[in-house]
Chain A
Amino acid sequence: MGDIILKTTDLTKKYNNKVVVDNLNIEIRKGEIFGLLGPNGAGKSTTMNMICSIVHPTAGEIELLGKNPWKQKKEVIHKIGYIPQELAIHGNLKAWENVELFTSLYGIKGQELKNAVNDSLEYVGLLERRQEFAKNFSGGMKRRLNIACALGHNPELLIFDEPTVGIDPQSRNFILDKIKESNKKGATVIYISHYMEEVEAICTRIAIMDNGKIIACGTSQELKKLVNSGDENITLEEVFLTLTGKKLRDYAE
């Protein structure tokens, strides 16, 4: 395993008196595909928002690529590619215009920007549809475009927040293949999802988060061993439910 790319130390977030992230300590190494699982309200997105300097931590430290993303944002932020859960694209812009807009935010311009736009669109299989408005795309195409918008500046760390919600199996497989491809090319990936089979299929290490804490972390096999059910064919979902309980989580993060 490579160097530590992300480290949080006692990372805490409180909203009023409610603790959403509770003394979180995680380490992610370069080259990993790190899966983050957890029920609704577990604190996954808040954690990622703090790492991406969107939400200010109440306490604790974040070290991203050796820097503090809150104090040295300019030096580190361009190394992150953040793919939000929402389709964060403009429907009234064409596919290439969307990628151009969001890639340019990292200071890329001119021919380099044009190349980056084409490469990103080609990577997600939308180069031939580059002139079409995003609002006319299918759900799967929008998801792919959403990813392309975060790839243009060639980030070292890719954060995917539920990138396969509401799309068909073909698009899902395409996206998962591309995540693996990005990882092989050298990108470290943090993958947040509710789909256990996806996480199991692509992640090298998985953390299960609940009530703001990491309650288990390891490879898929290590997590299954944690739950001593005697069933050799236990699924990751069963492990998840055993660790987090079956009670409904209806609150939002």
Chain B
Amino acid sequence: MIRYLIKNNFKLMFRNTWSVAVMLLGPILVIAVLSSAFSELMKSYEGVDEFTVGYRIQEATETNVMIETAKVAREEAGILFYEYPEGEIKDIMEKNGLAGFVEFLDDTYVVYKSADYEVEGITLEYFMNKVMNAGVNVSLQLQEQTDIVLPVEELEFMPAVDSIDYYGIIYIVYFCWCGMICATGVLSNEKKYGIVRRFQVSNISESQNFLGKFIPITLTVTVGMAIATVITVLLYDIHWGNPLLSMFIVFMMIIAGNALGMMLYNISDSLVITIIIQFTIVWFMGFFGGSFETYMFSSISDTLKHLSPIYHGNRALIELSCMGESNYVTSAVLYSVAITVVCSMIAILAGYIRKRGRT
């Protein structure tokens, strides 16, 4: 029976021209407006000139690594490293106008960034992250006493994302989380015209009822987002890195967003409350996750950023776009899976409890 429910609900959602138009035109318009508004800000991010940072090595640290790091940094990223073996790091940075400082400890390193050199600080952080990722390779070379060679071909990573790519990707992600809007027509009709009663006087179970809506919403939003993505790519020349992986991440977030919406609807039993709460949650997740202010320049604490599933999705997709890889892919997918599983279970349970306790 669920096949027919899914099929007809899918038709209903796609025939609701208003919600489909919002899902299609929403990202296209927002991307145009925001990418234009923030293009100057993002330009400064693209073109980082040569800058200077300090470093300090503890005695136990293998100095060869730092020497090679400094060499590669100058050649590939325009970062000039100068050693400052003594003194308070904060004072050194202020006195010498350093954009950042790297302190190499026994088995780790600390990056200090200056508030006056925000872009350079991010660039340094990316650089160090990349170099240290290659650290395993370097360690092996050290053990074998071979000449140390950092994999410089992998260093074409500098996060040179422009405003069009950034907002072009970020707003596809943002609208993925607002997919419940596609279900408004179906859900409001069901309540308004007593269709819910027909479901109640039938053999349909709560899980079938849930899937009968969840799957068509997901299909509708996926098709809508795919069309919006193609249109925005054609209109604005947005660069998605690794299309298959990017689409997978987007799809996982569509599922998570819909599960969240269905959970809110089954708990509140009110479409208005659902939309208000979901949009509020998504707004905060977007606020923390770089949907409005870019996550690179955002002054929001890292803890709050990392709490936002949108941040993980945004960062994974942006890094895939400009670096070709990202450490955030796994966390973005895991976050989405966790939200989907938990919200779906609560949604079905809430529907069941509501059914049992109907007065």
Residues of A within 8 A of B (CB): 15, 49, 52-56, 74, 77-78, 80, 82, 84-93, 97, 100-102, 104-109, 113, 149-150
Contacts and interface: CB of A to CB of B under 8 A. Distances in A.
B358 interface: yes
Given A104-B4, A104-B5, A53 B194 contact: no
Contacts of A88: 193-195, 197-198
Interface in B32-59: none
Contacts of A85: 194
Contacts of B74: none
A109 B197 contact: no
11 contacts: A52-B197, A54-B201, A84-B197, A90-B195, A92-B12, A93-B8, A102-B202, A104-B1, A105-B1, A106-B203, A107-B203
A102 B358 contact: no
Contact of B200 (A53, A86, A93): A53
A106 B197 contact: no
B268 interface: no
Interface of B: 1, 3-5, 8, 11-12, 15-16, 185-186, 189, 193-195, 197-204, 356-359
Contacts of A84: 194, 197-198
Nearest to A150: B198
Q: Which 10 A-B pairs have the closest CB atoms?
A: A86-B194, A104-B4, A105-B202, A82-B201, A101-B8, A92-B15, A88-B194, A52-B201, A84-B194, A54-B200
Contact of A97 (B11, B186, B189, B195): B11
A18 B331 CA distance: 54
Nearest to A85: B194
A78 B185 CA distance: 28
B204 A105 contact: yes
A93 B198 CA distance: 16
A74 B198 contact: no
Contacts of A113: 4
Which residue, of B1, B201, B204, has the highest number of chain A Cβ atoms within 10 A? Answer: B201
Contacts of B357: 56
Nearest to B186: A90
Given A86-B193, A92-B15, A54 B8 contact: no
Given A55-B358, A86-B193, A107-B1, A102 B198 contact: yes
A53 B197 CA distance: 10
A89 B193 CA distance: 7
Given A92-B12, A106-B202, A101 B197 contact: no
Contact of B189 (A56, A90, A149, A150): A90
A15 B5 contact: no
A137 B276 CA distance: 34
Contacts of A101: 4-5, 8
B221 to A, nearest CB: 18
Contacts of A56: 356-359
A78 B203 contact: yes
B18 to A, nearest CB: 11
Given A88-B194, A92-B15, A52 B5 contact: no
A15 B358 CA distance: 11
Nearest to A103: B4
A80 B198 CA distance: 11
A15 B202 CA distance: 25
A91 B11 CA distance: 12
B11 to A, nearest CB: 7
Contacts of A52: 197, 200-201
B193 A54 contact: no
Contact of A105 (B11, B193, B198): B198
B336 to A, nearest CB: 30
Contacts of B204: 105
Contacts of B11: 92-93, 97
Contacts of B1: 104-109
Which residue, of A88, A107, A149, has the highest number of chain B Cβ atoms within 10 A? Answer: A88
Contact of A77 (B186, B195, B202): B202
Contacts of B195: 88-90
Contacts of A82: 197-198, 201
Nearest to A54: B200
A54 B358 contact: yes
B201 A91 contact: no
A105 to B, nearest CB: 4
Contacts of A90: 8, 12, 186, 189, 193, 195
B15 to A, nearest CB: 4
Given A89-B195, A90-B189, 6 more contacts: A54-B200, A84-B198, A88-B194, A89-B193, A105-B199, A106-B203
